[in-house]
Amino acid sequence: MTEPLLKVEKLCAGYGSGDIVKNAGFTVSENGISTIVGPNGAGKSTLIKALVGLLIPRSGSIILAGKDVGKMNAPAKARAGLGYVPQEHNVFRNLSIGENMMLAYEFIAPDRAGFSAARDRVFDIFPDLVGRESDLAGNLSGGQRQMLAFGCALMPHPSLLLLDEPSAHLDLYNKALLFQQIKKIVSLKQKTILFTSHDLNSAIQICDKILLLLTDRWEFGTPDELIKKGIFQTVFPKETVRFDSLQKQFKICI
């Protein structure tokens, strides 16, 4: 049996004296899309920050490709294949597109030997950036800066890309474009993507696996497995939002 790319066991994380994420456990397989979903305040961002190392877990383990992420510094995590895009796109607005990409690459490869090949891999996914390397990041639109942030995260050639609420603040059209890009990254570049979201309908539509965080527990499985277990019907009060298991979507009760 093939080992999962990411294995999380009994993970507890939080702030102050309390745990927000309690005993979370799940696996992420290679070349797929998984998501962490749940209502506001359920701990989605807390969990993703623990996975990437921005928050030290209180207990549990995070194993990436057989290596303990908790024992790595940031460059070592990048070399091990971990990439990350936060909610606020981490690009330098006073630098050009090309300079941002170079800095991202130099984070793990200061000799620059493979920069051109890494840049071309990114351009395959985001052709709108081609020919614009001298443009300042600060002059880009929000959607273009998101492309650049994704591109910079892909420069070190990660095997697992973590995204924190990538569809936040996007309208329906741009959300659709984003998820098309995520699908493209996985299919063309053989990447694995794990992202947080509060958009359960989109998660059910595009994801291979879902980790659903609730106030008192968590559930993990394929969308169909969670539907069969009747999990989605318990997420919201029935008089406010109901889940249609036939159409596989949540609907507002009005």
| List of domains in the chain | 1-81+159-254 (3.40.50.300), 86-157 (no CATH)
pLDDT at 140: 87
Report whether 209 contacts 28 (CB < 8 A): yes
Q: What is the pLDDT of residue 31?
A: 86
Confidence band of 1 (pLDDT split at 50, 70, 90): low
pTM: 0.87
**Whole-number pLDDT of residue 136:** 94
Mean pLDDT of 212-217: 83
The answer to whether 34 and 51 have CB atoms below 8 angstroms apart is no
Burial 125-141 (b: 16+ CB within 10 A, else e): bbeebeeeeeeebeebe
The answer to whether the beta carbons of residues 9 and 60 sit under 8 Å apart is yes
pLDDT at 81: 85
For 146-168, the pLDDT digits (tens) are 889 888 988 888 899 999 988 87
What pLDDT sits at residue 229? 92
Q: Are 64 and 5 in contact (CB under 8 A)?
A: yes
